[in-house]
Structures are given as C-alpha cells and as structure tokens.
A = this chain, B = another copy of it.
C-alpha cells in the first residue's frame, strides 16, 4: 500500500522519543507530504519501524489527534485530518457560508480580472516581487442581492498552478483556493477605514463611510500564495470571539 505511506517517518534524535515521533508526523502533514485522508500507519507498524514501544507511539498519536492533525478510529485506523474550514476568533468563514449563516441568499460577481506582473503598489502591499506572475481579481459578494463585501485579491500563479485556467465563474476565488492550494501560514490584520470613491460606488454606500478592512496574506513554506483585502461596509458587520483566561473556549 504505497498510498498509505508515501514517506517514512524519520526521527531526528532531538528530545524525547514521543516528541520526535510527534514532530516527524506533524511535519509530514503540514508539508503536504501526507495530504488529508492519507492513512497513518497503525501503532504496531510504527512501533516496529521506529523501535519504540506502543505506548510511546500512542502518546505521540494521541497528542496529534488532540491538536486536530489526525483523526483516529478503532479498527479503521488513523488518517490525516482535513484542516478545519474556519479559525475561531478572527478568521472568516468562506464568504458564501458567512452569508448563508445570516439566512441570506448568496451571489457574487467577478468585476475585473488581470493576469500579469503586479503593479509596484500591489507588489508592495502584498509582499510580492515585481517579477512574480500574479492573477489580480476584484470580486463583489452579495447577500440578498445587496453588496456584502468587496474582495480584492492577488494570487501568486507559481504557487497555485491551476489558477491560469480558472475563471471563477462557479466558485469564488476564496473558496476555490481552499480546495486547490496548500498553505502553511497566514496573517491577517483588521482596521477601520473610510470608503474610497470607487469602493463606495461598488458597495452602494457614501464616500467616507466607515468600513471594516480585513487584510489577509497566506504563504506556503515562506512562498506567498495569495493576499486579499476584504472591505465590509459599515457598522453592520461584527467579528465576535469568545475566550477564557487560559485561552479560547
């Protein structure tokens, strides 16, 4: 079964054995070598392969399961988990989901698309080199037909091969990227800005109206994947989070 073991688990000899195992498997998962659904070898196999006791292997796997990287079921075995679609606190659901959770009808339009090298201003804002080929998109998402959020997105073509042949007619780019790209790190920033003239026109609000601006940049192993600027009009959008003194709850 080559499929169940695309790469071998390799220990690095640093620190406790259970932690070496945990890190080794974690690295295989986050690097994409073991994509979601891949079967992790059963405890007995790892035990022999690594020369550790079952309890030690077990400890590593239990911890990975608690971290959400793998899913374990008796008899079926252990598989690599699918990353959760949303990230509590601040991360945003896919926008279609976000709108549907509000009980409104979702639709969207790709207003503009350009492929080529990024303009200096864009490259700067999104942390790209001017030599990187990018796709540049402007998308308006609607809830019950009314403007909901304006998305300006840059996609690094080299990091997402399929993007050149995709027109985003059926799936908005954010959701499409979730399925067609890999990412290992993201950063977002939230701020409040007034709508510029063009933005205000598209969102059907007054110029200068306060908007919540969410900027997110995504990398895969230090290589930029995509950067997006989401402009939510007015005080009718809120991002809510809950937590306790020792962390999220």
Contact = CB atoms under 8 A, between A and B. Distances in A.
A155 to B, nearest CB: 17
Q: Which of A29, A81, A239, A241 counts the most chain B CB atoms within 10 A?
A: A241
Nearest to A249: B185
Contacts of A237: 191-192
Interface stretch (A7-15, A83-91, A122-130): A83-91
A211 interface: yes
Given A192-B234, A247-B67, A89 B211 contact: no
Contacts of A30: 244-246
A89 B194 CA distance: 24
Interface in A48-78: 67-69
A29 B249 CA distance: 15
Interface residues of A, number: 47
B212 A211 contact: no
A140 B212 CA distance: 23
Nearest to A185: B244
Interface string A229-249: 000101101111111111111
A239 B192 contact: no
Nearest to A91: B243
A245 B192 contact: no
Contacts of A241: 89-90, 187-189
A245 B36 CA distance: 12
Given A89-B89, A89-B90, A210-B211, A189 B243 contact: no
Interface string A103-129: 000000000000000000000000000
Interface of A: 29-30, 67-69, 81, 83-84, 87-91, 183-194, 208-213, 232, 234-235, 237-249
